[in-house]
Structure 1
Amino acid sequence: MDVIVLGGGLMGSASAYFLARRGLRVTLVERNRVGSGATVASFGNIRRSGRYLPQLPLARRSLTLWGKAHELLDRDVEFRPTGHLRLIFSEKGLAEMRDFATAARPWGLDLEELTPKELHVRFPGLGPSAIAASFSPEDGSGNPRLIAPAFADAARRIGAEIVEDVEVRAVRKSAYGFEVETSKGIHAAPSLLNAAGAWGGRIAALFGETVPIAARGPQMGVTEPLPHRIVPVVGVWGHDHGGGYLRQVERGNIVFGGGAERTEVSLDTGHAKANPVRLPGQLRAILPILPALANVSVIRTWSGCEGYVGDGLPIMGPSATTPGLFHAFGFCGHGFQLGPGVGDVMAELIATGGSQTPIDDFRIGRF
């Protein structure tokens, strides 16, 4: 075995796939089922607007791979480049959008600014009180329930070993490289990729690397099916109305999030629960985006365990203390769009010692 990937979310499963494509022998170890953690709790947003600017090359690389996902994985993961619309309700939001659009242009992202009239002609029913909006036509959404299992299955087909439903009892350095002791046996390899999500800080600490990371759960919900009329993913600038966001899936349901504080999650259990007390406030936060939701039934709410790093940026790259150890965790609730690109970059880094995509800002040594 050449590489052990610890964690079977989108980052881990994509990494396993791209490592196997490069001819490396890979074992992915997941304590539950692939894609059952933060990935499946995701909203499914594939957006670049509003990102940390040096993250845009990684986001562009990932967007290219999203566009190839059906071909690469031989499965429809419901990537739809429907565009990403962000509404503006305040002068603060307008200034934020314009500053970002100017700064992002040299990084290859061009945002289209829409006037209220243009917004309402192109996207009727959305944000009737909005004073402007931005539109990124290449972005869109994907299905969080499909993407990680699709990567894992594709990795398995080209030789990767996928180990699920195991208790991870120990992770240690050995004379050979690394050992991961599980309830179903010991796995050993010269390289270890820590893609353990919110638990990634605990793995890093075993090797003397401390990361300020907290486990939090977003509050997500979905409505009854409605006539399919909303094409783009929709959010807001300036955190107006609590920063709500929504999208309509092809079956007609409206998936929504934002507008509510994230809940604390214990890493001992990893169980994240939506708080029903916060649902009315959350719904009030998204009504300015889509007033037609006023009389719609919510049929399900959910949450998931996500890792939030103190400075809002992920941990990605080689260990600062231990040769052969690599990290890709703590994506602060913004990792879904990045997932395929993260897997490709980590595979390139592990296989070749470097990456064409800059990731130095995400190094663990910054702490």
Structure 2
Amino acid sequence: MRPDAIVIGGGLQGCSTALHLARRGLRVTVIEKDYVGRHASGVNAGGVRTLGRALPELPLSIAAKALWRQMEALVDDDCGFRPAGQIRVAETADELEGLGRRSQAVDALGLKHRETVIGQAALRRLLPAVAPHCLGGLHVADDGFADPFRTTAAFRRAAEREGVRIVEGAVVAAVTRPDGGSWRVTAAGERHDAALLFNCAGAWGGRLAAALGDPVPLAANGSMMMITARMPRFVGPVVGAAGRALSFKQLDNGTVLIGGGHRAPVDLDSNATAIDVRALSRAALNAAALFPIMARAAIVRFWSGIEGFTPDGLPVLGPSIAEPGAFHAFGFSAHGFQLGPVVGRILAELALDGAASLPVAPFRIDRFRRDPAPAGTVEAMAFPAE
């Protein structure tokens, strides 16, 4: 049957969008050039956090966390979500003061969301293995983490149960509007026609947006991570650092996942990713600086995923400016995983209701044309890495 909507991109954003559209009664086809969860959605650090979000993202992040708490009801799988808390550790008085300013800025928004400054004693209660020189931190008790690939697969299954058709291994060759009304997407020799088009193509989203007349300065990079052999349990919350590039968590099986924004080059045409061993060594040293027990850890695997980054670190989320009936959700800049469940709902609202229930104006795709360098307005109070 001819679909009502075509979603390009089978990552978490695409599968979430398909699910929410289908539950609003639409027939949906998802077109994925590789397989569902192949890129950033399946290989990220799995952070489920409101802590440190860029301030314009906080309303979306808070709404998304409410969905994470009900994930099993949403997709019949808890997706490995563990509300273990997240902490941003301060090693110096200046860092602790900066975290205090962040906490005050969040309180001033009046969103019923708190990022609580904790002192050294409270930090040690939450992180007994933390290095002695650490002075405190910023804490959100009900943040946590989940399993990225499991989550994306759960959204896929839920969408398919609602009748969504998912086409994998289908590179999009052309997107046109031959009759000025319906969209026509040609992929892997098959033609798909629909009234609505959704660009959830991740790092490739900029190319599709440009083809639709919505150019955006999107850069592609690889977010590198590594994981250790199993270790005795020594940390519960997800840990970041105020003065270091670090994202750090111990999984249920005892392994420790280390990330934090260390990038490597990628090739969008071949899906190739690289590993920068020197950058990974810095990540390992950062982990050992905060947790001396990590000096004895054995790294067993590392990898890099392909992600799209905008100049201001905020996603592109909303309708096309150039083409009615087209919508964008890409450029999540390595912190879109937690937002995935609510992004699909927002796109369904925009397409079917004409407005979103959450503020999306900061994510307009044309913001770079209006202000070519908007980064300073959000990055000063944000911690962008998962």
TM-score band, normalised by shorter chain: over 0.9
| Secondary structure, counterpart of 1:5 in structure 2 | strand
> 1:231-290: CA deviations, max 9, x gaps?
1111112xx2x3212101101100011274x11212112222222343322211111221
Contact residue 51 and residue 143 of structure 2 kept, 8 A: no
- Which has the higher mean CA deviation after the structures are superposed, 295-304 or 68-77? 68-77
Paired residues in the alignment total 363
Is 1:344–2:354 an aligned residue pair?
A: no
Is 1:193–2:195 an aligned residue pair?
A: no
| Secondary structure, counterpart of 1:327 in structure 2 | strand
Contact residue 228 and residue 251 of structure 1 kept, 8 A: no
Is 1:231–2:232 an aligned residue pair?
A: no
How far apart are the structure 1 equivalents of 2:219 and 2:30? 24
Superposition CA RMSD, Å: 1.3
Contact residue 223 and residue 298 of structure 1 kept, 8 A: yes
In structure 2, the partner of 1:149 is 153
How far apart are the structure 2 equivalents of 1:76 and 1:354? 29
Q: When the two structures are superposed, what TM-score results if normalisation uses the length of structure 2?
A: 0.91
Q: Runs ≥4 in structure 1, deviation > 3 angstroms?
A: none
1:95 Cα deviation after fit: 2.6
Structure 2 unmatched runs, 5+: 369-386
In structure 2, the partner of 1:138 is 142
Q: 2:37 aligns with which of 32, 35, 45?
A: 35
1:348 Cα deviation after fit: 1.5
How far apart are the structure 2 equivalents of 1:65 and 1:163? 27
> 1:55-101: CA deviations, max 9, x gaps?
11100111111111112211231011111111001233223211111
How far apart are the structure 2 equivalents of 1:165 and 1:210? 26
Is 1:211–2:212 an aligned residue pair?
A: no
Q: Aligned partner of 2:352: which letter? A: A
| Secondary structure, counterpart of 1:349 in structure 2 | helix
Contact residue 28 and residue 164 of structure 2 kept, 8 A: yes
> 1:115-143: CA deviations, max 9, x gaps?
11221123200243211111101110010
In structure 1, the partner of 2:375 is none
Contact residue 259 and residue 281 of structure 1 kept, 8 A: no
Contact residue 58 and residue 338 of structure 1 kept, 8 A: yes
How far apart are the structure 1 equivalents of 2:25 and 2:163? 9
| Secondary structure, counterpart of 2:272 in structure 1 | coil
| Secondary structure, counterpart of 1:221 in structure 2 | strand
In structure 2, the partner of 1:269 is 270
Contact residue 120 and residue 134 of structure 2 kept, 8 A: yes
How far apart are the structure 1 equivalents of 2:177 and 2:231? 54
| Secondary structure, counterpart of 1:303 in structure 2 | strand
> Closer, same or farther in 2 for the Cα pair 1:18/1:259, shift >3 Å?
closer
Structure 1 unmatched runs, 5+: none
Contact residue 265 and residue 274 of structure 2 kept, 8 A: no
- The share of aligned pairs that are identical, in percent, is 39
| Secondary structure, counterpart of 1:80 in structure 2 | coil
Q: When the two structures are superposed, what TM-score results if normalisation uses the length of structure 1?
A: 0.96
- Which has the higher mean CA deviation after the structures are superposed, 37-46 or 127-136? 127-136
How far apart are the structure 2 equivalents of 1:158 and 1:304? 29
Contact residue 201 and residue 210 of structure 1 kept, 8 A: yes
Q: 1:111 aligns with which of 91, 96, 115?
A: 115
> 1:151-184: CA deviations, max 9, x gaps?
0111000111111111221122232421110115
| Secondary structure, counterpart of 1:94 in structure 2 | helix
Q: Aligned partner of 2:139: which letter? A: F
Contact residue 199 and residue 329 of structure 2 kept, 8 A: yes
